[in-house]
């Protein structure tokens, strides 16, 4: 039996994103993105445009196989590229779609229970399947995935697991901040980033920790603790498919989160034992 993943009754995660990057499709236009939105039904009424994101690949050493031929086909239309963001009626799910990327966001809402990974994974794969069917029916083409991605966004507001900057090192399993006091000065903020290779060039874990303020209430400080994993999809290699990559990325994130945070913080988040 597989070992149970770490789990919490009141985790600090406010958003989870599952995504797939695919080779850009020459015949896929902005109009097709709108047509796909129309296939989703009445439960997805809210849509807006956002700037598109470039194709990105995790590379290791001198291995240039991560650069796919599809990356050279970005100029595929005379119309400007777009990324559409489609929100459901409850505003706790969002689809982000552009030519070359498909993301599915779970968005935490006050009073709504935390949704577990297997549920969001199932919804994401279903939506990707629906998009694959749309491409087949409308454009007689296929989606060729080249990379999977998972991101967890955690917010740690002041007054929860920390009250003053002197508490920051107590939130994590090892010190993350320099001394709060130096001659004639005191610590008021920081930004940190770490990168880890997953397996033997299987993917990469990126960890970002920032001190900032809440967007809705700038008077309230918080720590933003983001973990993102990303890796290659290769249909010719066993276990390198999209679903397996997502599971690897999820397992890497949740176990890293547990190892990185302190026992005290995890008790506050009510870790299941």
Residue 188 pLDDT: 83
Q: Is residue 85 in some structural domain?
A: yes
CA dihedral in degrees (28, 126, 114, 49; nearest 10)? 10
Q: Is residue 8 in some structural domain?
A: no
Residue 78 pLDDT: 46
Q: Which whole-number Å values give the CA distances from 162 to 93, 166, 172, 223, 268, in the listed order?
A: 29, 8, 11, 9, 11
Q: How confident is the model at residue 77 (pLDDT cuts 50, 70, 90)?
A: very low
Residue 64 pLDDT: 44
Helix 30-39 to helix 117-139 angle (10° resolution) is 120
Q: Mean pLDDT over all residues of the chain? A: 90
Q: Which whole-number Å values give the CA distances from 115 to 6, 7, 90, 106, 150, in the listed order?
A: 14, 11, 14, 8, 15
8 Å CB contact between 164 and 154 = no
Q: Is residue 136 in some structural domain?
A: yes
Q: How confident is the model at residue 71 (pLDDT cuts 50, 70, 90)?
A: very low
Question: Percentage of the chain with pLDDT > 90?
Answer: 75
Question: Percentage of the chain with pLDDT > 70?
Answer: 91
Q: Is residue 141 in some structural domain?
A: yes
Range 133-146 average pLDDT: 97
Q: Is residue 166 in some structural domain?
A: yes
In sign, the C-alpha dihedral spanning 30, 32, 35, 36 is negative
pTM value? 0.88
CA dihedral in degrees (246, 248, 249, 250; nearest 10)? 80
> In terms of residue numbers, what domain contains 149?
13-268
Residue 273 pLDDT: 61
Residue range 227-255, pLDDT digits in tens: 999 999 999 999 999 999 999 999 999 99
Q: Is residue 1 in some structural domain?
A: no
Q: Is residue 230 in some structural domain?
A: yes
Total domains present in the chain:
1
Residue 3 pLDDT: 53
């Amino acid at each position: 039996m597989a070992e149970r993943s770490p789990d919490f009754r009141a985790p600090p995660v406010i958003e989870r994103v599952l995504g797939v990057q695919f080779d850009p499709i020459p015949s896929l236009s902005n109009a097709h993105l709108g047509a796909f939105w129309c296939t989703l039904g009445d439960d997805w009424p809210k849509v807006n445009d956002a700037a598109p994101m470039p194709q990105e690949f995790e590379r290791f050493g001198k291995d240039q196989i991560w650069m796919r031929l599809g990356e050279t086909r970005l100029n595929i239309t005379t119309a400007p590229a777009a990324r559409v963001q489609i929100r459901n009626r409850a505003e706790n799910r969002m689809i982000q779609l552009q030519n070359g990327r498909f993301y599915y966001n779970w968005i935490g809402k006050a009073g709504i229970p935390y949704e577990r990974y297997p549920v969001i994974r199932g919804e994401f794969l279903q939506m990707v399947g629906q998009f694959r069917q749309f491409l087949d029916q409308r454009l007689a083409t296929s989606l060729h995935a080249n990379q999977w991605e998972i991101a967890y966004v955690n917010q740690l507001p002041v007054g929860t697991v920390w009250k003053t900057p002197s508490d920051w090192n107590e939130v994590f399993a090892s010190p993350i901040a320099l001394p709060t006091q130096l001659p004639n000065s005191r610590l008021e903020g920081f930004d940190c980033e770490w990168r880890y290779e997953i397996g033997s060039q299987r993917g990469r874990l990126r960890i970002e920790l920032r001190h900032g303020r809440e967007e809705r209430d700038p008077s309230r400080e918080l720590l933003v603790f983001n973990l993102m994993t990303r890796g290659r999809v290769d249909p010719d290699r066993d276990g390198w498919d999209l679903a397996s990559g997502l599971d690897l990325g999820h397992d890497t994130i949740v176990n890293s989160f547990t190892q990185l945070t302190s026992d005290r913080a995890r008790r506050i988040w009510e870790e299941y034992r």
